Structure 1
Amino acid sequence: MAQKPAVLNHIAVYVNDLGKSTTFYESVFSLNIIPEPFKDGKHTWFSLGSAGALHLIEGAKNNQIFDRNDHLCFSVPSIDDFIKKLQSKNINFEDWAGKSGAINIRVDGVKQIYFKDPDGHWLEVNDAK
């Protein structure tokens, strides 16, 4: 009998300032906070729907540099509407090559943008269906 494949439970992101990062992910991505068992003020958990959860964990140092290839990706219905949201929050974005304010278009037509969270973690947002 074939064994069922593993499923993603959560992604953990190590952050410097939990309050700042919680506000960022909640406001930029409209994520819903879900209960977390630790209740120690060092964790925020967000629902990612059927994909699992995003766990923010406080304690990182400010001096890390992250490679763009190591990123989280969120899909949205409209890149244009999402860009307006970023602009209203003064969050700069770029295409894969690093051109500020530009949108990358994949070979399959999916539009992508890249930007960083408050700790410098790279984020991709695309309009994949």
Structure 2
Amino acid sequence: MKKLLFYSVLAFSFALLAPRAARAQGPVVLNHIALYVVDLQKSADFYKNALLLPELPEPFKDGKHVWLRIGPHSQLHIIQGNKAQEHDINTHLAFSVKDLAKFMAHLDKLGVRYGSWKSEPGKTTPRPDGVKQIYLQDPDGFWLEVNDDKF
């Protein structure tokens, strides 16, 4: 009986301490997002030109990968080899810009279509917190949100 009580107290103690130890490490942080695309060059050009993402050196050097910077310590890895498929707007990558109107003018100059959540061309969608959003699709149909969140 004493052994059972001892092991029960020990197990309970570990259960209480484990979450604290995990929190001490800090949360996980985004390293990269990988998109599997049909046409590598077309997708890379879109992300570099429309979203203005800088290209990074990539280690594979096999012509099937392009790496782009999406944050101070985060990357977008574009990988050649996918087959065409449809994507739902609910699954999207979201980016922020300082001036959404200026970014929309940039997209207009490039002829990139965008619109509100309800697909109203050239319109924004306001979030309840006042942030404005637009939605567009990359060459493979992956949905992207661009907003003016100042976080």
Tell whether the structures are fold-level matches, with TM greater than 0.5: yes
CA distance in 1, matches of 2:73, 2:128: 25
CA distance in 2, matches of 1:72, 1:128: 14
Amino acid at match of 1:61: K
Which aligned runs of 4 or more in structure 1 are off by greater than 6 angstroms? none
Pairing 1:7-86 to 2, within 5 Å after superposition: 7-62=29-84, 64-86=85-107
Please state whether the residue corresponding to 1:74 is helix, strand or coil.
strand
Larger radius of gyration: 2
CA distance in 1, matches of 2:50, 2:125: 20
| CA spacing shift, 1:112–1:51, aligned 2, 3 Å | farther
Distance apart, 1:48 and its partner CA:
1.8
Please state whether the residue corresponding to 1:30 is helix, strand or coil.
coil
Amino acid at match of 2:93: L
CA distance in 1, matches of 2:71, 2:122: 29
- The higher relative CO (CA closer than 8 Å, separation ≥ 6) is in 1
CA distance in 2, matches of 1:36, 1:101: 35
CA distance in 1, matches of 2:60, 2:114: 34
Distance apart, 1:49 and its partner CA:
2.5
Give the TM-score of the pair, scaled to structure 1: 0.94
Cα contact 2:50–2:112 (8 A) shared by 1: no
Distance apart, 1:3 and its partner CA:
2.7
Aligned residues: 128
CA distance in 1, matches of 2:90, 2:130: 20
Cα root mean square deviation, aligned: 1.1
Give the TM-score of the pair, scaled to structure 2: 0.81
Distance apart, 1:47 and its partner CA:
1.2
Instruction: State the match for 1:111 in structure 2.
Output: 132
Unaligned runs of 5+ in 2: 1-20
Please state whether the residue corresponding to 1:48 is helix, strand or coil.
strand
Which structure dedicates a bigger proportion of its chain to helix?
2
